[in-house]
């Protein structure tokens, strides 16, 4: 299992039950509220670090540092990452995607791996 290290986090409110989305990309969905990014390639705010089980519960969001992510496809070490449409898992960014992190290790679809939140802008 991937680990977290030197992580800066903020706490916002969950927009819904996010208990199945720990280590997925999230974005601001309303005032002080986050939800998973199901648009794909959008500018996320960070990575959900806990498992809030209902709307309004505290959502701990990593905004900088080394974090675990769940792969939505095969990931190569060093790949620039964004959120996959519909699942919010990490995938390799393509032209026009907002780069949110860099993979620190390779992973297969569905595996957890380590990444560094980087927010490099649009690929």
pLDDT tens figures, 95-120: 888 899 999 999 999 999 999 998 77
For the chain, give the mean pLDDT.
91
Residue pLDDT, tens place only, 48-93: 999 999 999 999 999 999 999 999 999 999 999 999 888 889 999 9
| pTM score of the predicted model | 0.91
40 φψ region: left (φ > 0), alpha (ψ -120 to 50), beta (else)? left
d(CA 85, CA 87): 6
Question: How many domains does the chain divide into?
Answer: 1
Compute the distance between CA of residue 34 and CA of residue 38 in angstroms, rounded to an integer.
Answer: 12
Using the CB atoms, write b or e for 99-120: b if 16+ within 10 Å: bbbbbbeebeeeebbbbebeee
The parent domain of residue 2 ranges over 1-123
């Amino acid at each position: 299992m991937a680990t977290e290290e030197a992580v800066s986090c903020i706490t916002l409110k969950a927009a819904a039950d996010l208990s199945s989305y720990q280590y997925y990309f999230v974005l601001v969905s309303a005032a002080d509220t986050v939800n998973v990014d199901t648009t794909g390639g959008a500018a996320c705010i960070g990575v959900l670090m806990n498992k809030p089980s209902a709307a309004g519960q505290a959502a701990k969001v990593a905004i900088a540092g080394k974090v675990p992510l769940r792969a939505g496809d095969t990931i190569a070490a060093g790949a620039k990452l964004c959120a996959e449409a519909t699942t919010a898992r990490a995938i390799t960014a393509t032209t026009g995607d907002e780069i949110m992190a860099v993979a620190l290790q390779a992973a297969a679809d569905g595996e957890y791996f380590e990444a560094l939140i980087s927010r490099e802008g649009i690929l």
